[in-house]
Amino acid sequence: MEQLKRLEALTGSIPADQVDDVRESIVGELFKKSRELCAEAVTVTDRERLYRSERLDRIFTSKLWGFPIMLAMLGVIFYLTIAGANVPSSMLSSFFGWIEGYLTAAFEAVHAPDWLHGILILGLFRGTAWVISVMLPPMAIFFPVFALLENYGYLPRVAFNLDRLFKKSGAHGKQSLTMAMGFGCNAAAIMSTRIIESPRERMLAILTNNFVPCNGRWPTLILLASLFMAAGFSGGVQTLVTASVVMGMVLLGIVVTLTVSWTLSKTALKGVPSHYTLELPPYRKPKILNTILRATLDKTIYVLRRAVIVAAPAGVLTWILANIYIGDTSILLHFVQFLDPFAKALGLDGFILMAFIIGLPANEIVLPILLMGYLATGSLTEVENMFALKQIFVDQGWTWLTALNMMLFSLLHYPCGTTLFNIWKETKSFKWTFLSFAIPTAIAILVTFIVAQAARALGWV
């Protein structure tokens, strides 16, 4: 205890008012010594090469080319993803169909009851298989390409280019980095907002992260865009149109992010942007093969895990709801009929809204649930053929407006269960967690309602 008392007395004797000055002279001297050491031990043989990164910055962050290059990069990534994912997707789909044939035969051979076959094969297996075949290929292309850009050092330049916009909307410049994380997974992006030190701006980043479409929503956007928006085109042009529509959605998400940030900065989260510094590390040629392999592997494991943990149980649940009857209508249908009038006002239908609600745990299961709902048996058909898939939608009375509004709803609606849970963990606040659910939902409802009413009033559908 003697030591403690002495320490106490010692700390009491130090004046607290000149701390910043002490720090300034300490760090000043540290850097002086560092410069001295560098002068002695470092020789620069080629000034030209030393500043290569800065010359690249003159292009990547140029007044004229900065934004076009950013958009072009985004467009190219989408194009590659959409163009590359088609073939492997249908291959996976046929592969799972082939396995299913054997599984069904096995069930028949042991005279398993119909309901067991229904739950396990038509619910669990098909749900999981669908998620894997639709999600895995695009994710296994998108993320390696994205990781290449990230490891090259391009992302901080995006933050540099866009900073002014975020500042104007009262948000932190590093929010563009957390948004970039959101492309992968909003739940992970919520954790990454820790890089924003100011609590106010961090909350803005948390509340708006959902407007960046994640992993689980890409396939929905891509699929609907290619089936309904790009249907009139063929070949390469079709892919191009799909990519443009998806990119439009992403840009809309960014506009909504900035608008919501701005509004919150003027109301619930009043304040001016806090100070910040942004490092622009030198461009580094990534280890291409290494990066691709690692990102592909990481994403594959991630998608497969999600498929098993979330998609499988959701498949089972949906099958059960669709096959238990109250009166002569299934529970699922009762629910759908209840939602239908409201959903119609939003340009959707009861099934779609039901799929979004049951899909709360994870966005990747929204489409599979929707399809299960549409098919009378309450289970999924094999979707080897995209025309067959579109036929299912058209039979249910879908128009381009339905597709557009489902895309909009998907982009804007509440975050998935995992993300909400992370928001609660990070904010420890019921109020903010609720708001992060309510704000996007209100926007999603409002936007789809306006689009639907406008399109109908103008006689476009």
Partner 1 sequence: MDETNILQHLHQASLGERFLIERVDIQGELKRRLLDLGFVPGAVIEVLKASPLGDPISYRVAGTVIALRQEESQLIWGKVMPS
Partner 2 sequence: MRTYTIALAGNPNTGKSTLFNALTGLKQHTGNWSGKTVSLASGYYEYKNSRFRFIDLPGTYSLFSNSADEEVARDYIVFEKPDVTLLVLDSTALERSLNLALQVLEMTDRVIVCLNLMDEAKKKGIKVDAGKLAQKLGVPVIPISARNNEGLDTLSEQLLLMCTGSIRTTPYRMKYNERLEEEIAKLETELKLIVGDEYPARWLAIRLLDGDRKLIDTLKQKLAASDRGGMIYGAAKALGSTNR
| 271: three-class secondary structure by DSSP | coil
Retrieve residue 86's tokens: 């088609």
Task: Report the partner that residue 41 touches, choosing among partner 2, partner 1, none (CB closer than 5 to 8 A by kind).
Answer: partner 2
Nearer of residues 61 and 86 to partner 1, judged by Cβ: 61
Task: Please tell me what DSSP assigns to residue 112.
Answer: -
Q: Which residues bind partner 2 (CB under 8 A)?
A: 1-4, 6-8, 10-11, 14, 16, 19, 22-23, 25-27, 29-31, 33-35, 37-38, 40-50, 52, 150-153, 155-156, 177, 191-192, 194-195, 197, 279, 281-282, 284, 287, 294, 298
Q: In DSSP terms, which residues pair with 325 in a beta bridge?
A: 330
CB 403 within 8 A of CB 223: no
154 forms part of the interface with partner 1 (CB under 8 A)? no
Nearest to 311 by CA among 246, 215, 437: 215
Nearer to partner 1, 196 or 245 (CB): 196
CB of 151 to partner 1, least distance (A): 18
Q: Please answer whether residues 117 and 104 qualify as being in contact, where contact means their C-beta atoms are separated by less than 8 angstroms.
A: yes
Q: State which residue, 67 or 338, has the beta carbon closest to partner 1.
A: 67
**C-beta of 79: minimal distance to partner 1 in Å?**
24
Q: Which is nearer to partner 1, 164 or 344 (CB)?
A: 164
Quick check: 387 and 231 in contact, CB under 8 A?
Answer: no
Question: Measured from the CB atom, is 167 or 294 closer to partner 2?
Answer: 294
For 325, the 3-state DSSP assignment is strand
Per-residue DSSP letter, 329: E
The answer to whether 423 touches 433, Cβ cutoff 8 Å, is: yes
The verdict on 259 binding partner 1 (CB under 8 A) reads no
What's the CA gap between 136 and 155, in Å, rounded?
Answer: 24
User: What is the contact mask toward partner 1 in residues 11 to 50, using x (rule: CB under 8 A)?
Assistant: ---------x--xx--xx--xx-xx--x------------
* Cβ count near 63 (within 10 Å): 7
> Token pair of 220, please?
């929905």
170 touches 271 (CB < 8 A): yes
Which of partner 1, partner 2, none does residue 54 bind to, with CB < 5 to 8 Å depending on kind?
A: partner 1
Residue 160 near which of partner 2, partner 1, none (CB within 5-8 Å, type-dependent): partner 1
Q: Which of 5, 49, 63, 111 binds partner 1 (CB under 8 A)?
A: 63
**What residue has token string 């704000």?**
439
Smallest distance from partner 1 to CB 269, Å: 19
Q: Which residues are within 8 A (CB) of 344 and not within 5 positions of it... i.e. 6 or more apart?
A: 350
Closer by beta carbon to partner 2, 117 or else 157: 157
Parallel, antiparallel or unpaired: strands 329-330 and 325-326: antiparallel
**Which residue, 52 or 456, is less far from partner 1 as judged by CB?**
52
Enumerate binding residues for partner 1 (CB under 8 A).
20, 23-24, 27-28, 31-32, 34-35, 38, 53-54, 57-58, 61-64, 66-67, 160-161, 163-165, 167, 173, 273, 275-282
